[in-house]
Amino acid sequence: MISLNTWGGVAGREGLLDFFRARDDVDVFCLQEIWNGGEHIRGTTLAGVRYDKFLSDLYPAIGTMLENHLGYFRPHYHDWYGLAMFIKKNIVLREEGETWVWKTRADIYDDEVANHAHNIQYATFETKKGTRTIINFHGLWNGQGKFDTEERLTQSKNIVEFLKTIAHPYILCGDFNLLPDTESLKMFEAAGMRNLVKEFGVTSTRSSFYKKPHRFADYTLASDGVTVHDFKILPDEISDHLAMYLEFE
């Protein structure tokens, strides 16, 4: 599986789509900052954020590259911006869904974009070793760093409560918008999950497009029962984030 914050395609359309075209053998993609519309706000500024270069057709464009996959889009801002998973058609999918971990779908603040609601997207499927769930997550962003806040602590608590409902092994991945030493992240480790970014000695999950000093934002965590064969950060410069690659059981 691969997890990637696509940055809405701002780093360049062709390079990003070529990345997916070359990786059709990957079983599951977990993607953040996916646009599926929203072209009407191009060129506008909301809460100090200028919307000029995002690809409003990013979701269907990626789907065109991944002909052997089925796409699932779960917006958390209006109905055109959010999370997406692409899952190979030969995988026996039991359930795909979402749950809200910060506010609800009804909470939309066009004058305060960073305060929009957040969901997690999940897919439960069958493997030769039993049922597994992969959870796709994009954490709160407030433009003021990646430190603990009451909102982020609440968000993590809500995710942990959801994880308690899963009776089989699972993986949680995405752009958490958290630094490694935050309590909001350690909460997942305390719940028994392996932090693969820490375990594999990753030193950065950001590409050269990202100019700020903090080099962590993205994480992949695995529960008991997940056998990890390989985990690495891919070098492709297709976003201000780097993609995380996981091979398991």
Q: What is the pLDDT of residues 62-86, one digit of tens each?
A: 999 999 999 999 999 999 999 999 9
Task: Find residue 3's DSSP bridge partners.
Answer: 30, 244
Two tokens, residue 187: 């909460």
Instruction: State the CATH architecture for 2-248.
Output: 4-Layer Sandwich (3.60)
Query: How far apart are the two ends of the chain, measured CA to CA in Å?
Result: 11
- Residue 244: name the closest of 141, 166, 114, 137 by CA: 137
- Between strands 170-175 and 130-138, the pairing is parallel
Q: Look over the chain and give the mean of its residue pLDDT values, rounded to a whole number.
A: 94
Amino acid at 164: K
Q: pLDDT, tens digit, for every residue of 86-102? A: 999 999 999 999 999 99
- Residue 124: name the closest of 59, 72, 184, 161 by CA: 72
Task: Quote the longest CA-to-CA distance of the chain.
Answer: 49
Q: pLDDT, tens digit, for every residue of 127-180? A: 999 999 999 999 998 777 899 999 999 999 999 999 999 999 999 999 999 999
Please state the pTM of the whole predicted model.
Answer: 0.96
In the predicted structure, residue 120 carries a pLDDT above the cut 80: yes
Q: pLDDT value at position 116?
A: 83
Two tokens, residue 122: 């999940």
Q: What is the Cα–Cα distance from 239 to 12, expressed in whole angstroms?
A: 8
